[in-house]
Amino acid sequence: MKNIGFIGLGIMGKPMAFNLLKAGYTLYVNDLDKEAVKKVSAMGGIPATYQEISEQCNVIITMLPNGSVVKKVLFDASGIAKYSSPGTIICDMSSVTVSESKECFERLKKMNIRFMDAPVSGGEEGAVNGTLAIMCGGDQKTFDDLKFCFNILGNSAVLVGPNGSGSTAKLVNQIIVNLNIAAVSEAFVLGAKSGADPEKIYQAIRGGLAGSAVLDAKVSRMCSRNFAPGGKISINHKDIKNALETAHFLDVPVPFTAQLFEIQQALKVSGHSEEDHSAYVKYFEQLANITV
C-alpha cells in the first residue's frame, strides 16, 4: 500500500487528508499550523518533517496558499526535493500561476522527480464530500498513477494537457466562478432594492438559463448572512491576480476580471477578505444602501 505525504492542512487540505485516511492510506502530514496537524493526527495521520515525508512516501501532495510557498516547500535547503528519491511523484493541488507550475516541473525533472499540477474546484464542501473537480497538467502515466488519489478526493479528474495546463484550467474556472458570484450579487441587490423577496426571485429563476451551481450555493448564504468561509475572498483575490498576470503576459484583455479584482480589493480594505466569496454582495449592498 502506498504511503502518501500531505503538506498543507488548511480549509481545503485538512478534509482532503481526512478522506485519504478514511480510505485506508498511510498519511504523513505537515503544516505550520500545529493544531491542524493535531486534528489530522487524531484521525491517524503521522506528523512528519519534510525529510521524513520524502523518505517514506512515493506520492507527495501539496495544498498550499500560493506558488511562492510551494516553491519554498519544494526547493529550500531542507525542502522536499532535496530528500525525494527519483521516481517520486509530487502532486501540487494548490492554485498557482501557470509559470510557477512549469518552473516546478522543469526543476524537478532535472532531479528525475515526477510532477503534476492538479488544482481543484468545489470549495470546502467539495473537499469534505470528496466531490472536487480536479484539473491536471502533466503526462498520462503520472496521471494514471495518481488516479487512486483523485478517485478519493474528487468526482472528476481530467488530464487537460502537459504541465501547466491544470493551472491554466484553474484560472479559467476562477474567472467564471467569481464573475458569476459577482453577477448574482449585483442582480440580487437590484431585486432587494425593488422590494421583491430574494428567496422568491431565486425560486423563480433557478430552473431557467440563469440557474447554476453558483446560484444554488451562494444565494442562500447571502440571504441568511452566512459568510463563514468556504472559499475565502483572500484566496480568490490571489487567484484573480494570477489570472490577470497570466492574461497580461499572453496579451489577452480581461476587462471584467480586472473590475472583479478591484471589487475584491475594496472588500479587502473594508475588512471582508477572510469571509466567503458570497460576501461580494456586501460591495453592491453598500453602493445601493440595501441589504439582501
**How far is residue 104's CA from residue 129's CA, in Å, rounded to a whole number?**
29
Which residues are paired to 2 by β-bridges? none
The DSSP output letter for 268 is H
Q: Please give the grid coordinates belonging to residue 30.
A: 505537515
3-state DSSP assignment of residue 124: helix
Burial group, residue 54, by CB count within 10 angstroms (0-12, 13-18, 19+): buried
Q: How far apart are CA 21 and CA 4, in angstroms?
A: 10
Choice among 170, 218, 232, 282 that is catalytic: 170
Give residues with Cβ within 8 angstroms of 86, minimum separation 6.
111, 112, 113
Active site residue 170: yes
Query: Taking a C-beta distance cutoff of 8 angstroms, is the pair 21, 40 a contact?
Result: yes
* Cα–Cα distance, 180 to 269 (Å, whole number): 22
CA-only gyration radius of the chain, Å: 20
Catalytic residues: 170
